[in-house]
Structure 1
Amino acid sequence: MSAIDSMAKPAIVTPSDEKSYLALGDSYTIGESVKQVESFPYQLQNLLKTERINVTTPKVIATTGWTTDELQKAILQAKLTQKFDFVTLLIGVNNQYRGNSIITYKKEFSELLQTAISFANGDKTKVFVISIPDWGVTPFAKSAGKSQQSISTEIDNFNAANQEITVAAGVSYTNITPGSRKALSDLSLIANDGLHPSSKMYSEWANALFPKVLAVLK
């Protein structure tokens, strides 16, 4: 055998090795105002590839402006029968923005979390909830005459609700809200629309999720 023949050959990824990913949410999941590849699901996909975890193109059910009930309706309309290797869920900012009831949010978020678990084939370790970022620190909020403190307080209340439900269900919770507040003094974390996260902030979210997802998929 030649030296060349004896060299280790790179692993060949077959379709059976590919991992599937479902991302549920709103504008923060589709990456409003940034390129698709800069959204956190796609950045997470690329991070996993660096560890030879081949993730197929993320299946995204998310639209700017969606509340929990609108996400529920969209999931039903999608009629998905596929099960996924992992699922992320980030929803609630529009419930807060519209002044919707937090009691209703708790009910609908809990239902969405169970839906996410069912998409993960009942394996709660493969579901990852992300907290709602604080848009109160953005230039948009300031220009609209919104009170930063009142928005931050309401966001904290919604996050307290979704975190309690997530932890009680035994599901992973990633708190990106404190990091989102750095945008108050670092505008590089905000997209050109003055409201949504930039690629840089999404990178922080993807990096926060990365070790948790990797540990489950390896």
Structure 2
Amino acid sequence: MARPTFLALGDSYTIGEGVPEAGRWPEQLAVRLRADGIDVDPPRIIATTGWTTDELSAAIDAAAPQGRWGLVTLLIGVNNQYRGRAASEYREQFRQLLERAATFAGDARRVVVVSIPDWGVTAFAEGRDRAAIARDIDTFNAIARDETLRLHARWVDVTPASRKAGAAPDMLVADGLHPSAAQYALWVDAILPEARAALRELPRR
């Protein structure tokens, strides 16, 4: 039987800005899955720092990933929030991305959506309105969760872990904004059960 494939869609959090390749959470997740007896392929990552929902969609068009993917993850939206883009626009574009992810997977239950972490707790946000950032992040996450559950995909909330990590030096890379490999490991603790279920509970295509 062919090894399950893994497509990870996102932005700086998925590409792992500032961490070695092995420290990215999709890479860590693949290692944890293999340790759990699921011999998943290395992740194909379509993600770049700074991407918004529409930019990710355009990048997917350009990359044109082929075939049916055993697992698809999606984490997108922080740059929409950072740039002050409308929540209504985010809902529409996120819904389109989620539907594309489900098409790549062949079943929405093979799609794992990861919440947007709260960058307002980081050192980078010093001097900004942290409470307003948190409210915005919560609004965008509520939209993403609503659309995820509507499509019967899988939702993982890593935002509490990001808030608990805060600005601890070992939880961020040198820019004081992006998570370290150690923080990503905490995210993988939350993501792993849903990824495992997505790969084990459905018949392979």
Q: CA deviation at 1:175?
A: 0.5
Distance 1:66 1:213 in 2: 24
Q: Which residue of structure 2 aligns with residue 5 of structure 1? A: none
Aligned partners of 2:193 and 2:178: how far apart in 1?
25
Equivalent residue for 1:149? 131
1:118 matched residue in structure 2: 103
Please show how residues 151-166 of structure 1 align to structure 2 within 5 Å.
151-166=133-148
Q: What's the TM-score, normalizing by structure 2? A: 0.94
Does the 8 Å CA contact 2:115/2:158 hold for their aligned counterparts? Answer: yes
| Alignment partner of 1:186 is 2:171 | no
Question: Which residue does 2:112 correspond to in 1?
Answer: 128
Q: Could you say which structure has the larger radius of gyration?
A: 1
CA offset digits 1:140-181 (Å, max 9, x no partner): 110xx3111111111111111111111111111001101100
Alpha-carbon distance in 1 for matches of 2:155, 2:17: 23
Give yes or no for contact 1:21–1:57 (8 Å, CA) kept in 2.
yes
1:175 equivalenced with 2:157 (yes/no): yes
Query: RMSD of the TM alignment (CA)?
Result: 1.1
Q: Is the 8 A contact 2:6 2:69 kept in 1?
A: yes
Match of 2:178 in 1: 196
TM-score, normalisation: structure 1: 0.89
Read off the aligned partner of 1:29 and give its amino acid letter: T
Bigger CA drift: 88-97 or 167-176?
167-176
SS of match in other structure, 1:56? coil
- C-alpha distance after superposition, 1:81-139 (max 9, x if no partner): 22100100000000000001111100000000000000002x11100000000000000
Corresponding residue to 1:210 among 186, 192, 195: 192
Listed as ranges, the gaps of 5+ residues in structure 2 are 201-205
> Identity of aligned pairs, percent?
46
Counting matched residue pairs gives: 200
Q: Which amino acid aligns with 1:47?
A: R
Unaligned runs of 5+ in 1: 1-15
Q: Does 1:139 align with 2:123?
A: yes
Q: Report if the CA contact (8 A) 2:94-2:144 is conserved.
A: yes
User: Could you tell me which residue of structure 2 aligns to residue 45 of structure 1?
Assistant: 30
Distance 1:117 1:55 in 2: 18
Task: State whether residues 117 and 127 of structure 1, in contact with CA within 8 Å, keep that contact through their aligned partners in structure 2.
Answer: yes
1:17/1:54 contact within 8 Å kept: no
**Residue 187 of structure 1, CA deviation:** 3.1
